[in-house]
Chain A
Amino acid sequence: MKIPFSWLKEHVQLTKAPKDIADDLVRLGHEVESIALPQAGVLGVRIGQILDMKPHPDADKLKLLKLDLGEAEPLAIVCGASNMKQGDKVPVATVGTNLPNGLTIKQGKIRGEVSFGMCCSVAELGLAEDADGLLILPTDAPVGMEVGAYLELEEAVLDLDITPNRGDCMSARGLARDLAADGNLPLIAPDEEPADVSDSVAVPSVQVTASNDCPLYMARRIEGVAVSDAPDWIKARLLAAGQRSINGVVDIINYTMLDLGQPMHAFDADKLTGGLHVRATVEGESFLALDGREITLHAGNIVIADDKAVVALAGIMGSEHTGVTETTTNIVLESAAFRAALISTTRRTHGLVSESSMRFERGVDPEMIAVAMNQATLLILELFGGSASEVITIGDADTLVKHKVVNTSIARIESRLGLTIPESADDVLNRMGFVVTRKEGLLEVEVPSHRHDVSLAEDISEEYARVIGFDAIPEVLPSLATIKPHAVDTAMSSATAAGFVQVINYAFISPAEQRLFTAADDKDLVLQNPISDAMSVMRRSVWPGLLNTAKHNMNRQQAGVMLVEQGRVYEKFDTEKNKETNVIAWLMTGQIQADAWYAKANKADFFDLKGAVEAWLENRGLVARFMAEENKLGLQAGQCAKIFVGKAVVGFIGKVDTDIASNFDLASDVFVAEINLDVLNAGKKAKFQPIPEFPSVERDLVFLFDKKHSSEAILQEVRKAGGQTLVEAGIFDRYIGKGVPEGFVSLGIRFVLQDAKRTLTQDDSDAAMKSIIKAMADKFAAELRG
C-alpha cells in the first residue's frame, strides 16, 4: 500500500522525517518496502503553456508546438499526442531531464523539425502504469514551475507491506493511530460535523436477509448531483497512492477508503430497479462485474441485488451497469460491514481481487462505517452539489463495536517474552485504544473494535513486544534438551568421494519422461496446477532428471559426466497415504578418464558404474549380488541387472536404451543405477575382526568354460568347493580368441587361502585346488587349461 507522507500528517502531527517514521513503522510491524521521492524522478519537468500548435509538414501524427515556459523565447517541441489544444498547460521535460522510465531528454530533430524537449503523460512522469495522452494541467497552473512542486510531489511516498492481520492499518488513519500512540502524539479526530440532510429525499429501500454475513448495512440517497472531475488534490493523492482517477464520485469513495479504511460503494440510483436486497445467492446466478466479466455465482455468496439483478458482489465489486458515471445525477451510497471469511472465500472462488475485498478480508474498523458515510457525503455535497437523505441503518452498530476483554497475567506475558513489562508500556497500549488494567499481577485488557487480530493472551504479549521493541528482548541460550544421537548419513559423501557430482533436480517431471522408466498405471501423482507440462507429475524415477542434467552438461563441452542424486520418488499408495521413497541414483556417460600423459582416454561402461555401486555398498558394510534383468523398462537387455542385498531387491543398474539416450542428445552409452535407501539397513557399523596371524597362500587356475555360465554362478560353486580356508576367489583374467574354441571362454581364477589358526601346508592348498577342479568339471564340464 502506498501512502503519501502528507496524508499521514493530516491525521497526526508528525515531527520526524519520513525516514525516521519509516523506522518507527517497521518497529511497529509495518514493513516499509520503499520510500519513494517522486519529485526526484521528474526534476526538470516544468509547466508549459501551448502558444501555438501546427501539424508537422512531413508526418500526419506529429504536431509542432511552441510552448511558453516563462522564458524569453518559447520552446519548440515535436509532439505525438493528440489530446491537447492551444492554450493547454502540460508538463514539459526539458533537455537534460532524466525521466523515471530511464529516458534522458536530448535536443533532437524529428523528421527534419528541431525539438527541444518532450511533453509528458502521467505514465512518463512515473505516476501511473499507463496513460492515454498528455497530462493536461489546470488552467491556473503557473507557467514555468517545476511540475513536481506543483503536483506536491515534493513529499515522500511510503510503500508499505501491511500484514494480513492488520486490515485496520490499510488506511492513512489506521497507520496514523499506531504512530500517534507510539510517539505519544494526539490523533486528530475525523470530521464529525454531520452532513446536511434533506427530508424531501427519500431514504433508499434496503432489506438485509443475510445478517450473519452482513451485520451492519448503511445506505443513503443523494439526489441532483452534477458529477465532474474530482479536484486536483484528491487526484494527486489517489495518483500517489497508485490509484487511477475514474470520476468525481468514485474518486471520493476511493479517497475515503484510503483515508479511513472503510470500503464503500456508490450506485447510480436511476439504474436500480426497486430496492436493495442484501442476500445470499442461489447456485448459478450470474453477475456482470465492473471489469466486464460475466461471473456465475455459487450458492452462499453474498450479494447486493435489486429487483432485477445482482448489482454488487458484496464487499468485492460492483456491477458494470449500476456504477456511477459522469452522467449520473442520483446516487445510493453504501457503507457496510461484511464477514471477512466470506469475502475471502468468495473472491478466491471467482478469482477476483479489489482494494475493497483486500480490506474486508483482513478486517476493517466498524467504528468507521458511519464516519466514512458522513465524510463521503460531505465531500460529494460540497463538490458536486445535490441533497442527501437520512441514512438507513440495518444491523446493530453497538454490538459490532463492542470491545472484547482478554484476561491474563503479567507473569504469563513476561515468561513468554523473556522480558520485564514496565507500566509505561501500558500507556502506549492505552493510546492505541486498548484499556489496560493491572491488579496484583493480573491483567485485564479491553480490545478496541478495530483490532480483529487480538483475542488471546498471546496476542497481548505481541502488543507488548511491539511497543517495548523486540530489541529489548535479551538473547538467552536455552538449556540443552536430552540429545537423541544423530547418525551421520554417509550415503552422499561416500558417492561424491568416488568422483560423482551431486545434483538436485525438481521432483516433478513431464508425463512423457515419467513413461521412459515407469509403465503407465494409476499411481502417478499429477499436479492440478503445474508450472508447465514439463513439471506436472511427481517423479517415480530419478533417472529422467539425471538424463536432463547430463544433457545440459554434455551440451556445455563436458566430455563425460558422473552424476549422483539423492532424493525421493513418489507414488500413490492407497486412498489416504502416498508413498515417498528415498533413493540414491547414479548416471555415468562419456569419458570418465580424459587423455592424459599417463593414461589413454576411457569411456564409461557397465563395469565402471557397477564397480562404483559395489564400492558404495561396501562402504555401508553391504555385499551386493547382481542378477541379469531382461525386462526393465528403458534399460537395454543384456546390460541390465537387479541388485540384491541378501534376499531383497534394492535397485537396478543398466545401460539406458540408446533411443532414449539420443532423445537427450547423449551420443555415448549412458549407464544408470538406482538404489532404494529405505530398504537398506541404515549402514551397518563395522564389527571388529582380528587381523589374520598366519600367512595366506595364493593360487591361480585357468579353466575353459562354456560362455553360457555367468561368472557369478561359477564363483558361487568355487566358494562351495573351496572349503573354509578359501577366503577370496576372483576372476583375474578373461580371454576369448585364438586357442579358445568358439562358444567358450577362458577364465583365470585367483584363490586366496588362509587359516586363522595355523600356516597352511602345500598339501592343504593342493587339496582345496583338487576339490575346486572337480567341482568345475562336475558342474560346468570345465577343463583346466595348461
Chain B
Amino acid sequence: MSEIDSLKSELRVLEEQALASFTQATDLLALQALRVQYLGKKGALTNVLKGVGRLSAEERPVIGQFVNQVKDALTAALDAAEATLSVAEKAKRIEAERLDITLAGRKANKGAIHPVQQGLNEMCAIFAQMGFEIAEGPEVEDEFHNFDALNIPQEHPARAMHDTFFFHADEAQQAKLLRTHTSPVQIRTMKGCVDSGGQPPLAVVAPGRVYRCDYDVTHSPMFHQVEVFKVDKDVSMAHLKGVLKHFLSTYFEKDLPIRLRPHYFPFTEPSAEVDVGCVFCAGKGCRICKGSGWLEVLGSGMIHPNVLKAVGIDSSVYSGFAFGLGVERLVMLKHGIPDLRLFFENDVRFLRRMGA
C-alpha cells in the first residue's frame, strides 16, 4: 500500500472511531472533550497529519483535501450531536425546575390606610381639584372660634345642642373646649387673612377631628368633618349647589341628584340640609333611605353676615357659602359599612378588608 493510501485508510478508521464515539457521548461536557480529542490542536486528526511530510508534492493537496473532508464531517457531526444534546439538556433542566405554581407567593404583610383617612384623602383631593386650599386648625378651641364668632352667642339654644366637651379651666385662662365642628377653621382662616392685610377671594377645605359629648350606637364622641367654604364677590347659593353636586357625584362615582331643604344653622343664612339621591336604590326607596329615595348627607348655607362681620369682612361687598360634611357618614354610605363603631374599634380584619 502506498503512503497515501495508508494515510487515507488511517483517516477513515479515525473518522469511523470518532463518529462512533460522538454517538456515545451523553452530555455536552463529554462532547466537548471529544472535540478536543479529535479536532483539537493536539488532537487525533492533527496527529495523523504529521505523516503528510512523507508524501510527494503532488500527493499533498490530495490528502489535504481528504483531511478537510474528514474534519468537516467530524465538525458537522459534533455540532449536530451538540445541538441534540443541548436541547435534551435544556428540556431536562426545565423539567427539573418545574414548580407547583399554586403554592402561595412570598408576600409582604398587607398594610392598609384607614377607611376614614381614605375618605378624607379622596374628599380633599376633589376639593383641591376644584381650587380649594387645604387648611387645618386646633382641636382644643375656645368659645370665640367655636361659637361666638359663628353667631352662636352664649344663650343661643343651638349652643346647647352641641354637646360640648369642656376642659377644666385654669385661672386667667379663657374656657377651652374640644371643637364641636370644623367651622372654627373658617373663622381662623378668614380672620388670619384679614389680619394680615388680605381680603377674599378665599376657597378653603378644612378636614379634621371634631368632638361631641355623645356616645351610643350611632354617635361617636370623636369623628371627622370636612369644612368647605368660599368667600368672594357675588358668591351665590347657585354656586353652593353646583359645588355640592360636583363633589357628591365625584365622591360617589355616580351622577346623583341633590336636594336642598331649608333648615336652620346660626352661622348660615339661608341654611339648607343637603340630601343626595340614595346611592343604594337610585332613588327608588329602600331600607337605608327609609323609603324616601334620599339620604341626608350634610348641612350647608350662605355664610351669615354676622360671621363675616366677626372676622372683619364686609358683607355688603363679599358673600360666601359654607358646608360641613361628616366623613364617617359618607364613607359608610360609599362602602356600605353598617356600623359607625367599626371605625374606632380598629379590628385589623375590617381595616385590611376596607383599606387601600
Residues of A within 8 A of B (CB): 26-29, 31, 163-166, 340-342, 344-345, 348, 361-362, 415-419, 453, 456, 458-459, 461-462, 465-466, 470-471, 473-478, 480-484, 486, 492-493, 495-508, 525-531, 535, 538, 549, 552-553, 556, 558, 561-564, 566-568, 570, 572, 575-576, 578, 580, 592, 596-599
Contacts and interface: CB of A to CB of B under 8 A. Distances in A.
B230 interface: yes
B32 to A, nearest CB: 32
Contacts of B237: 416-419, 465, 470, 473
B213 interface: yes
B111 A496 contact: yes
Contact of B241 (A416, A474, A481): A474
Given A27-B261, A163-B263, A495 B235 contact: no
A572 B167 CA distance: 11
A530 B244 CA distance: 35
Contacts of A453: 264
Contacts of A340: 155
B55 to A, nearest CB: 54
A471 B222 contact: no
A475 B157 contact: no
A502 B113 contact: yes
A348 B160 contact: yes
A502 B201 contact: no
Given A474-B238, A475-B241, A562-B111, A535 B221 contact: yes
Kindly list the 8 A-B residue pairs having the minimum CB-CB distance in the complex, ordered from nearest: A418-B238, A499-B109, A418-B236, A29-B262, A163-B264, A496-B111, A462-B270, A341-B155
A416 B111 contact: no
A502 B351 contact: yes
A108 to B, nearest CB: 34
Nearest to A483: B131
A501 B355 contact: yes
A561 B346 CA distance: 12
B356 to A, nearest CB: 8
B348 A561 contact: yes
B230 A481 contact: yes
B203 interface: yes
A482 to B, nearest CB: 7
Interface string B173-215: 1101010000000000000000000000111000001010101
Nearest to A525: B167
Interface of A is mostly: mixed
Given A458-B302, A474-B238, A504 B346 contact: yes
B260 A470 contact: yes
A507 B157 contact: no
Contact of B348 (A553, A572, A599): A553
Interface of B: 103-104, 106, 108-114, 116-117, 124, 128, 130-134, 138-140, 153-158, 160-161, 165-170, 172-174, 176, 178, 201-203, 209, 211, 213, 215, 221-222, 230, 232, 234-239, 241-246, 258-264, 269-273, 302, 304-305, 315, 319, 343-349, 351-352, 355
A476 B112 contact: no
Nearest to A532: B215
A462 B269 contact: yes
A384 B348 CA distance: 69
Nearest to A549: B346
A497 B355 CA distance: 11
Given A493-B113, A561-B348, A480 B130 contact: yes
A508 B167 CA distance: 12
B288 to A, nearest CB: 17
Contact of B246 (A163, A477, A549): A477
Given A348-B160, A486-B134, A502 B241 contact: no
15 contacts: A27-B261, A163-B263, A344-B157, A458-B269, A462-B271, A473-B237, A481-B203, A500-B109, A501-B351, A504-B344, A505-B346, A530-B165, A562-B109, A563-B346, A596-B106
B347 A556 contact: yes
A496 B113 contact: yes
Contacts of B355: 496, 501-502
A506 B344 contact: yes
B140 A578 contact: yes
B213 A531 contact: yes
Contacts of A556: 347, 349
A504 B113 CA distance: 10
A576 B173 contact: yes
Contact of A525 (B110, B140, B213, B269): B140
Contact of A476 (B238, B258, B349): B238
A417 B138 contact: no
Given A417-B238, A578-B176, A499 B221 contact: no
A465 B242 contact: no
B168 A528 contact: yes
B261 A31 contact: yes
B239 A504 contact: no
A583 to B, nearest CB: 14
B139 A503 contact: no
Contacts, number: 251
A643 B11 CA distance: 82
Contacts of B244: 475
A523 B153 CA distance: 30
A506 B222 contact: yes
Scoring A453, A501, A526 by chain B CB atoms within 10 A of each residue's CB, the highest score goes to A501
Contact of A478 (B124, B160, B239, B245): B239
A505 B263 CA distance: 33
B209 to A, nearest CB: 7
B111 A501 contact: yes
B320 to A, nearest CB: 10
B317 to A, nearest CB: 11
A599 B166 CA distance: 53
Nearest to A562: B109
Nearest to B105: A598
A164 B222 contact: no
A504 B327 CA distance: 13
A597 B103 contact: yes
A149 to B, nearest CB: 27
Contacts of B168: 526-528
A163 B109 CA distance: 51
A481 B305 contact: no
A564 B114 CA distance: 10
B248 to A, nearest CB: 11
Most buried by B among A465, A526, A575: A465
A498 B111 contact: yes
B60 to A, nearest CB: 52
A535 B221 CA distance: 10
A526 B345 CA distance: 23
Q: Max chain A CB contacts within 10 Å: which of B167, B173, B239, B241?
A: B167
A348 B155 CA distance: 9
A345 B173 contact: no
Contact of B132 (A462, A481, A505): A481
A353 B233 CA distance: 43
Residue among B173, B178, B346 facing the most chain A CB atoms (10 A cut-off): B346
Contacts of A26: 261
B260 A471 contact: yes
B111 A495 contact: yes
Given A470-B260, A562-B109, A575 B155 contact: no
A505 B238 contact: no
Nearest to A470: B260
A526 B137 CA distance: 20
B163 to A, nearest CB: 9
Contacts of A505: 344, 346
B209 A507 contact: yes
B234 to A, nearest CB: 6
Contacts of A528: 165-169
Contacts of A570: 139-140
A485 to B, nearest CB: 9
B301 to A, nearest CB: 9
A492 B114 CA distance: 10
A470 B272 contact: yes
B176 A598 contact: no
